């Protein structure tokens, strides 16, 4: 009798997961989170590039601008 309940519960869980995956794909995502990255404000990025041009270290420049090191990229 316990096996019957376990199979029933498993079937409900599988159905719920599949419906959530279908809903996420319909909304254009894979995990419910947006796929696109938000763009950095040009003012912050320009301030970082100016600090780098003045000879600041990358760590100091991004700390002042409030962005991550990976967001800096190559200066324009």
Mean pLDDT of the chain: 83
The CB-based long-range contact list for 32-40 (8 Å cut-off, 24+ gap) reads 40/67, 40/71
Helices of type H across the chain:
2-26, 42-53, 58-65
Which band of pLDDT confidence, cut at 50, 70 and 90, is reported for residue 42?
confident
Average pLDDT (20-31) is 80
pTM tops 0.75, yes or no: no
Residue-wise pLDDT tens digits, 47-70: 888 888 999 988 888 888 888 888
Residue 32 in this model has a pLDDT that exceeds 80: no
What is the separation of C-alpha 46 from the centre of its chain, rounded to a whole number of angstroms?
23
pLDDT range class, residue 45, cuts 50, 70, 90: confident
């Amino acid at each position: 009798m316990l096996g019957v309940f376990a199979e029933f519960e498993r079937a409900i869980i599988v159905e719920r997961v599949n419906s959530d995956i279908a809903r996420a794909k319909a909304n254009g995502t894979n995990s419910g989170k947006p796929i696109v990255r938000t763009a950095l404000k040009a003012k912050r990025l320009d301030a970082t590039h100016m600090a780098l041009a003045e000879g600041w270290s990358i760590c100091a420049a991004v700390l002042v601008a409030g962005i991550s090191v990976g967001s800096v990229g190559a200066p324009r």
